[in-house]
Amino acid sequence: MFFIKLKRVIKAGFINFWRNTVVSLASVFVMTTALFVIGGMVLSSALFSSLIVDVKDKVDVNVYLRTDASGQEALALKESLEALPEVRSVEYLSREQALVDFRERHRDDELVLGALEELEDNPLGAVLNVRAKEPSQYEGIAVFLEGDPSVGTTPAPIVDKVNFFQNKLVIDRLSALINILQRLGVVVSVVFVCIAVLVTMNTVRVAIFASREEIAVMKLVGASHNYTRGPFIAEGMMNGIVAALITTALFYPVTLWFSNFAGNFFGDFNVLSYYLANIVQLLFLLLASGLVVGFLASWLAVRRYLGH
């Protein structure tokens, strides 16, 4: 008996969906927009995560050692840094390697290379490139270096300079940008979901108004409240299903265009490949979101216009 009633409710909801074609399409359009924002947040989150990882790999703190620092002292400082929980990795560049890298960076500058040739000895010291697990942790590493005996005013300090404060502005801006993008995405999604709920509520209200005589007859013959409300809730959920299918299909041309437009700007990350690899998960997410939004809007509408 339950499944027979459920079948009738779904059928009535389907009829209402096609009977109110114009308002149903308006509701589907707005829900598609809301779901597109939600899906876009998923794709952009993956994109930003890949971009942030790439940027994090390029942001580091360089510890420049004095030219008279021995390799053993440099390696001891490297081990001290690697023991910090904030540190992800420490790369050691010897004096010789630092000189090779310097020549490579200035290979087109004859003046610099000429001046370098005039020097009898290698003017560069060894370098420790320190990478933290999170951008916000670089300051703690810099504080550790300032308190380390090898950096302070000991008779023979081995550290010449730490470029944290030169990179601090970039690191702070990166951390702030990550937080802003995450919060903005949540706010935009919530706004569009609220708009979709309001429009779907209005769609169900119109359907209730158009079916007011049928509803009155159903109540006269003893139909329960749930049976009377069911078709309208089913209609709202159908709006969500249709919107989810349309949104998932729309992401293909959008991601294709974006991939062609962006090229290799975002490194190895390809939005189209990510979309195709996760299309099933994306579809289920949008279907779940569409059903929840459709159900919530319809339930609020029938409570308001059909009573409790």
pLDDT in tens, 189-246: 777 777 767 776 776 666 666 666 666 666 666 656 666 667 777 777 888 888 899 9
Residues in the chain, total: 308
Alpha-carbon torsion angle 81, 86, 91, 94, nearest 10: -30
Q: Which CATH code for domain 60-164?
A: 3.30.70.3040
Percent of the chain with pLDDT over 90: 5
Residue partners of 34: CB distance under 8 A and separation at least 6: 189, 192, 193, 195, 196, 243, 293
Domain boundaries, the chain: 2-55+173-305, 60-164
Give the mean model confidence (pLDDT) for residues 140-145.
79
Residue partners of 117: CB distance under 8 A and separation at least 6: none
Distance between CA atoms of 67 and 268, rounded to whole angstroms?
A: 38
Top-confidence range, 43-57, 236-250, 264-278, 286-300: 236-250
> What is the reported pLDDT for 248?
92
Pairing of strands 127-132, 159-162: unpaired
Top-confidence range, 47-61, 101-115, 148-162: 101-115
Please tell me which residue, 266 or 154, carries the higher pLDDT value. Answer: 266
SS (H, E, C) 119-146: CCCCCCCCEEEEEECCHHHHHHHHHHHH
DSSP string across 214-262:
HHHHHHHTT--HHHHHHHHHHHHHHHHHHHHHHHHHHHHHHHHHHHHHH
Top-confidence range, 42-51, 152-161, 247-256: 247-256
Structure tokens at 210: 């158009």
Alpha-carbon torsion angle 100, 102, 107, 112, nearest 10: -120
Distance between CA atoms of 222 and 231, rounded to whole angstroms?
A: 16
Residue 151: HSE in the Cβ half-sphere, 13 Å Cα cutoff: 16
What pTM was estimated for this model as a whole?
A: 0.61
Give the mean model confidence (pLDDT) for residues 6-34.
70
Q: Which of 120, 116, 60 is nearest to 92 (CA)?
A: 60
- Indicate the range of 37-46, 97-106, 202-211 predicted with least confidence: 202-211
pLDDT-derived band of residue 114, with 50, 70 and 90 as boundaries?
Answer: confident
